[in-house]
Amino acid sequence: MNRTIPVLSAILLVVLVAVASRPQDKKAAAGTPDAAVRSFFEQVKNRNWSSAYSYVSPSSNTDQASIQRELGGKDGSLRTYSTLQEVQTKVLHENDAEALVRANLQWSTAVGASNSSRDVKVVREDGSWKVYWPSEKQQNLPPQVIPVNYLRWDIIRRGPEEDWGAQNVEAPKVRIISMNAIERDGRTIVMGEIVNEDTVPGFVSVGATLLGADNKTLGEESSFDKISHVLLPKEVSPFRIDFPGVKLADVKNVRMTPNSLLVPASADPVIGVLNQRIEKDARGHSMLRGELINQSGQTVNIPHVLATYYDNSGKVIWVADAYVDRALVPQTPVPFTADLREDVAGNVQNYRVTVNHYSLDKGGL
Amino acid sequence: MIARNSVGAGVLARAVMGLTLLSGFAFAADLKAPKQATAGESITITAADSGHLLLFGPGGATKRKVSAGDVQIPGEDVRAAGRYMAILDDASAEFYVVAAKPSTVNFLARPSRVPVSRPDAISGVAFVFDEFQNLFLKPAPVKFDLSVKENAPATRTVESKNGIAFTRLPSASKEGAAQFVASVAGGTPVRRVVQQVASDACDLRMKAQKTDKSIIVETDPIKDCSGNAVPDGTIVTFIEVTDKGRSTVDARIKRGTARAELPLSSNGTISVASGVVTGNELHLGGGQ
């Protein structure tokens, strides 16, 4: 008896190890469309690409590497710094042969949570449900040399040997050209636009102080990522500053402080924003959509879209932003989507989209 | 009792000193010094006794052994302007050293960069000093010259007050590095550079050309209202509005013009802007 227990334990251990180390089932089976989609994204979440691919229907005509590139990211894009956090599914319709499942995905990214929604087609093959995931056809540029001869601004500052009266190069002159304060979701929001009026680039930020009765300070904040910080000459950027927990009715005055620093900068890259339009998504939410195209020769790793919305009098009524999880490779359009609040959408008469860009080798410049 | 006597003697000495200052000389007991001297010029102090003469001033203190009679204080001991005190034993004398003639200016020019054709946009402040770096407090004419390239300089002469002369000048209509010079008669001029840059774009115009895949838009050479070329790198925004949506490109001026590629469309409008300046509008499929 004393020997039996260790022997049985050893056999059990060997069996468990054998089960755990057996090759993955190349033909994973899902009993329902919902289970197929959930299992697929569960493997994406674990970055187990071969297992995720096992839930994909061969009729998708795609390969594992394409799925990995699309859902795991490439070219140093935001997706490469993201993890799928949560998946919620809902079967929209289903019959014996196929089904449509809406997957609401929440990604945890380097710049915060990112939500997306995708309607996934699921097909029944050999008695089990498989995800139909057609590969994104991405145009590949032929190898070529793209000549770039844009300006770059460098700075020589005054040296210690100069006499005390010698002037330094001054920071660029910036001006706030519009400003509006509203209250939404229990917070006061100050937004507007700022222009670099100078002939040199600047690193710009906008600070705001809310003053209440008796000039008491209610809050002091500055623009963070809802602004283009590097402004080239005559470039206009929106800005938005949120004051959580402050009621607009309590605000008697707003003190704005635009700041600028002279910084080295490059006029490259140029990013076009094409076919911008406001439309409803599958859930009936208003969205601003369009495509970004990098007209230069260098990859932009993380594009950041800033949208400014105006009413019919030209007043800025909302500023929103969205990060694009795909890198902008040269000359290749990439779609973007930015949420638009429903309470704002009805008043939007005009809008403007600008793009911040972050490149791994150049930081934000 | 002793203290009271000392106070009384001090009051008496100050009263005597005040009277002597009125008459042009300061002396206390047995020291005589001129009421005023000029920085860097030697002075004579008359001592009644021999001993050690101490001289305290704003620039330091000296000690020398002197004999009764006239004592020559060399100019290098009285270079710093201000109040001096000579002490010989229990005698003392005060005198004041004023700045020598103006010879240099310290010059602050602002801003370092200014758009053309702006009234009173450039300011210059000159601090007038003598050769020993004493602020020259008496009125002195300071000449300000502002010139760009080969154009005639704008000149203004301002009399300093309490050592400071201040002026404002308009920026010229032509861009370039302006030489802003301040000088005093007989002194070394001091030069600053004020970069005069093009102002906002004026009469911004573009033209468009359709290709197989896109519409190429390009501006005419972009200049300000004085005819100066707006610098390369300046942002020019092209906006195309069609039934497919709106497309925008923030192009940069390169070699004087801005150029962009917009999606192909057979109808809609294209507009152009730079900063807060808007340009012409083109109608696709219409007249232009």
- For residue B248, give the nearest of A164, A195, A352 by CB distance: A352
CATH for the stretch A271-358: 2.60.40.3230
Query: Looking at beta carbons, which residues of chain A come within 8 Å of B261?
Result: 272, 295
Residue ranges, comma separated, of all CATH 2.60.40.3230 domains in chain A are: 271-358
Identify the DSSP state of B135.
Answer: B
Do B180 and B210 belong to one domain? Answer: no
Do B71 and B115 belong to one domain? Answer: no
**Percent of residues, chain B, with pLDDT higher than 70:** 89
What pLDDT score does B221 carry?
A: 96
pLDDT at B84 over 90: yes
Please determine, looking at this structure, whether the domain spanning A168-263 carries the CATH number 2.60.40.1620: yes
B239/chain A closest Cα distance in angstroms = 9
The two structure tokens encoding residue B242? 């069609």
Q: Residue B69 class from Cβ within 10 Å (0-12 exposed, 13-18 middle, 19+ buried)?
A: exposed
Residue ranges, comma separated, of all CATH 3.10.450.100 domains in chain A are: 23-132
Is A295's CB within 8 Å of B249's CB?
Answer: yes
The closest alpha carbon to A342, from A284, A297, A294, belongs to: A284
Which CATH number characterizes residue B148's domain? 2.60.40.1930
Contact B263, B244 (CB under 8 A): yes
pLDDT at B27 over 50: no
Which CATH number characterizes residue B258's domain? 2.60.40.380
What pLDDT score does A126 carry?
A: 84
Of B197, B212, B232, the residue that ends a domain is B197
What pLDDT score does B8 carry?
A: 43
pLDDT digits (tens, 9 = 90+) for A293-327: 998 888 899 999 999 999 999 999 999 999 999 99
What pLDDT score does B288 carry?
A: 45
Provide the residue range defining the domain that includes B227: 201-284
Contact A288, A338 (CB under 8 A): yes
Name the domain count of chain B.
3
In this prediction, the answer to ipTM > 0.85 reads: no
Of B163, B197, B231, the residue that ends a domain is B197
Q: Give the DSSP H/E element, type plus range, for residue A344.
A: helix A342-345
Do B207 and B271 belong to one domain? Answer: yes
Do B7 and B90 belong to one domain? Answer: yes
Which CATH number characterizes residue B37's domain? 2.60.40
Of B80, B98, B116, the residue that ends a domain is B98
User: From CA A219, how far away is CA A230, in angstroms rounded?
Assistant: 25
Task: Name the strands in the sheet holding B51-57, side by side, starting at the edge strand that comes first in the sequence.
Answer: B36-38, B91-98, B82-88, B51-57, B60-66
Nearest Cα residue in chain A from B106: A165
Inform me whether the C-beta atom of residue B191 falls under 8 Å from chain A C-beta atoms.
no
Do B89 and B107 belong to one domain? Answer: no
pLDDT at B259 over 70: yes
Is A270's CB within 8 Å of B260's CB?
Answer: yes
Do B236 and B168 belong to one domain? Answer: no
Contact B99, B105 (CB under 8 A): no
Class of A23-132 in CATH: alpha beta
Contact A289, A238 (CB under 8 A): no
Contact A75, A83 (CB under 8 A): no
